[in-house]
């Protein structure tokens, strides 16, 4: 992310309206490799392919804020790998982290990973260190410490259905598991921040939040997100593209000031749920419109969203969730043009 983009982001989070209206997208391995013309496996294993794909997106759409920017990651295997899970990497499909906890009784024996040395994390960090001079030469910098969230990782260790069931049947053991993951994540965020002093933001991604009611989130989510976001950074960014209205009223209490949601909620309604204290990144339908729609479909969806907002402050226009697979250049450019030419 460039200095100009970063300053724009801080302005929007502060409640200032910027001209033209801002556009931003979360981009990572589900979209970027194939858009660039590479396989997902090449993107993960070839540092030049990874760097050039990220650079190409920034050069093709220079006005867009891409989050987190030059994201070094290995899909959903990134953080679970540190716990010792088996990871599967097809040549051009999403990687998969296999569950390792067969029951809640296995939680006590779960090792506490060292994010400096365990799993794929050293490779992820070293890739950024090696690429940092090129990133800076291109006018960008490393702005975010990034990780999947504690509930997301716990669900990969145990299996999503099993984790949610255990939450109801064994709440004490569930908290023990989430605490272990949170300690690991806090250390991992600190390591990234120590390695790159330019970091002034945290991005956590956790869709499991959307499967919890408000009371469940208050017990199994809020305390742990508060701990993770309780760091000295300017931007505290959460992604959850599952249903969010149960957790939305508690986002500010968790310290969050930037939120990317799914497409099944109206931004004006979400502004009310968050007392307009959280900047919203969203939220036209990612697959059905941005990926599979025509240029006119994209233009119409963006115009409808713009016209529905009585207050465009604290909004960065995007899709509902991260950039999905198969979105083409023309649809993205149509999205940008429609936002920036709106009056």
Instruction: Say which CATH number the domain at 203 has.
Output: 3.20.20.210
User: Which residues are within 8 A (CB) of 14 and not within 5 positions of it... i.e. 6 or more apart?
Assistant: none
Query: What value does the mean pLDDT of the chain take?
Result: 97
pLDDT at 274: 95
Token pair, residue 77, equals 């295997």
Q: Residue 199's pLDDT band (boundaries 50, 70, 90)? A: very high
The mean per-residue pLDDT over the stretch 275-294 comes to: 97
The mean per-residue pLDDT over the stretch 189-213 comes to: 97
Q: Residue 126's pLDDT band (boundaries 50, 70, 90)? A: very high
Radius of gyration of the chain (CA): 19
Do 262 and 299 form a contact (C-beta atoms < 8 A)? no
Q: What is the pTM of this model?
A: 0.97
- Name the percent of the chain lying above pLDDT 90: 98
Do 315 and 280 form a contact (C-beta atoms < 8 A)? yes
- Please, what's the largest Cα pairwise distance for the chain? 59
Q: Residue 104's pLDDT band (boundaries 50, 70, 90)? A: confident
Q: Residue 260's pLDDT band (boundaries 50, 70, 90)? A: very high
pLDDT at 147: 98
pLDDT at 191: 98
Q: Which domain holds residue 327?
A: 3-340
Q: Give the count of domains, the chain.
A: 1
pLDDT at 294: 98
pLDDT at 237 over 90: yes
pLDDT at 343 over 80: no
Q: Residue 103's pLDDT band (boundaries 50, 70, 90)? A: confident
Helix (H, G, I), strand (E, B) or coil at 321: coil
In whole angstroms, how far apart are CA 85 and each of 36, 96, 326? Answer: 30, 10, 29
pLDDT tens string 301-333: 999 999 999 899 999 999 999 999 999 999 999
């Amino acid at each position: 992310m460039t200095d100009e983009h970063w300053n724009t982001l801080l302005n929007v989070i502060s409640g200032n309206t910027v001209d033209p209206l801002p556009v931003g997208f979360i981009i990572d391995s589900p979209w970027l490799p194939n858009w660039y013309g590479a396989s997902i496996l090449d993107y993960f294993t070839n540092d030049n392919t990874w760097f050039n794909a990220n650079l190409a997106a920034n050069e093709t759409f220079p006005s867009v804020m891409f989050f987190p920017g030059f994201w070094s990651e290995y899909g959903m295997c990134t953080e679970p790998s540190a716990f010792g899970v088996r990871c599967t990497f097809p040549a051009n499909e999403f990687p998969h982290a296999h569950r390792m906890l067969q029951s809640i009784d296995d939680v006590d024996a779960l090792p506490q990973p060292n994010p400096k040395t365990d799993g794929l994390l050293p490779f992820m960090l070293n890739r950024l260190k090696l690429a940092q001079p090129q990133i800076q030469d291109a006018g960008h910098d490393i702005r975010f410490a990034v990780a999947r969230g504690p509930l997301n990782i716990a669900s990969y260790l145990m299996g999503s259905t099993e984790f949610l069931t255990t939450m109801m049947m064994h709440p004490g053991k569930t908290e023990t598991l989430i605490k272990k993951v949170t300690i690991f994540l806090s250390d991992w965020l600190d390591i990234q921040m120590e390695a790159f002093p330019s970091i002034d933001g945290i991005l956590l991604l956790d869709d499991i939040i959307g499967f919890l009611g408000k009371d469940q989130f208050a017990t199994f989510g809020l305390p742990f997100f508060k701990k993770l976001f309780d760091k000295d950074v300017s931007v505290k960014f959460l992604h959850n593209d599952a249903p969010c209205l149960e957790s939305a009223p508690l986002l500010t209490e968790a310290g969050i000031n930037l939120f990317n949601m799914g497409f099944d909620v109206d931004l004006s309604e979400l502004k009310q749920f968050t007392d307009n204290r959280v900047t919203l990144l969203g939220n036209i339908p990612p697959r059905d419109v941005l990926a599979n729609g025509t240029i006119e479909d994209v233009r119409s969806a963006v115009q409808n969203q713009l016209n529905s907002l009585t207050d465009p402050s604290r909004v960065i226009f995007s899709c509902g969730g991260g950039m999905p697979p198969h979105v083409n250049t023309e649809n993205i450019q149509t999205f940008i043009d429609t936002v920036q030419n709106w009056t």
